[in-house]
Amino acid sequence: MSLMTLRDLTVLRGECPVVDHVSLNVEQGECIGLIGPNGAGKTTLLRAALGLLPASGDSTLAALPAPKRARTAAWMPQAREIAWPVTVERLIALGRIPHLPRGARLRPQDRAATDAAITRMGLESYRSRIATHLSGGEQGRVLIARALAQETPLLIADEPIAGLDPAHQIATMQVFEDLAHEGCSVIVSLHDLGLAARHCTRLLMMERGRLVADGPPSEVLTPENVDRVFGISAFYETTAQGPVFQPMAVTR
């Protein structure tokens, strides 16, 4: 079942296209990495796909009514915004808002979803801590848990692992992989091509607003693509411990 289809999605900033005729389809069970250099249009693409930005072309997600869309896709923005000193548990429970009937308080199933998200991100000991008092990386994990609590078939996260320590970066990518195994899909933008190569089932490579490559990591992370889009050379091999991608040198 298709979770999201984009057809010729285009976002203009003035005359200049920031996202340029992007078409793609997301099926169930995919862990998709969105890669590209700074300014390639990754964030804009994700926001436009969600309908948070005016765009031309089609996005099946943006076409949904807001409440339905909120039950279909969860969105974790890049800016880690936590405006008030609420507890971690309460913050994560905000992910249940799209599921709550009008005026209702949290129901048992909402608490269960919240607890599951907390467990998944390993945040049990943080439950009653004040979210704004946590470090940047910890806040990042809390916000991922918040998106998980939304329990949507599709999770879209903008640089969710930036600023996390290596252990938590790997653990988080593992969570995304697990979600894909369970039948959900995840679109995650990231700059760590090594993690992308290891954990994603599919990569989307963007350059100046255009989608220049779309496929399994081995087909996307070719030396030509990596050189042309990122301006680097890289070591990329499948080893006994899985694929290893290591950027080596700047080529320009």
Residues that bind another protein (CB under 8 A): 47, 50, 52, 66-67, 69-71, 73-77, 79, 81-87, 90-91, 94-95, 97-98, 100, 143, 146, 150
CA 48 to chain centroid: 14
Residue closer to another protein (CB basis): 143 or 229: 143
CB of 84 to another protein, least distance (A): 4
DSSP-assigned beta bridge partners for residue 211: 206
Q: Could you give the count of Cα atoms lying within 13 Å of 241 in the half-sphere of its Cβ?
A: 3
Are 231 and 252 within 8 A, CB to CB?
A: yes
Are 53 and 241 within 8 A, CB to CB?
A: no
Run of H or E including 242: strand 242-250
Residue closer to another protein (CB basis): 16 or 97: 97
Residue closer to another protein (CB basis): 55 or 229: 55
CB of 234 to another protein, least distance (A): 32
Are 248 and 232 within 8 A, CB to CB?
A: yes
Query: Which pair of tokens denotes residue 212?
Result: 């220049």
CB of 206 to another protein, least distance (A): 19
CB of 230 to another protein, least distance (A): 27
Residue closer to another protein (CB basis): 31 or 142: 142
Residue closer to another protein (CB basis): 39 or 67: 67
CB of 73 to another protein, least distance (A): 7
Residue closer to another protein (CB basis): 81 or 237: 81
CA–CA distance, 207 with 210 (Å, rounded to integer): 5
CB of 104 to another protein, least distance (A): 10
- Could you tell me which of 229, 225, 220, 228 has the C-alpha nearest to residue 200? 220
**Radius of gyration for the alpha carbons in the chain, expressed in angstroms and rounded:** 18
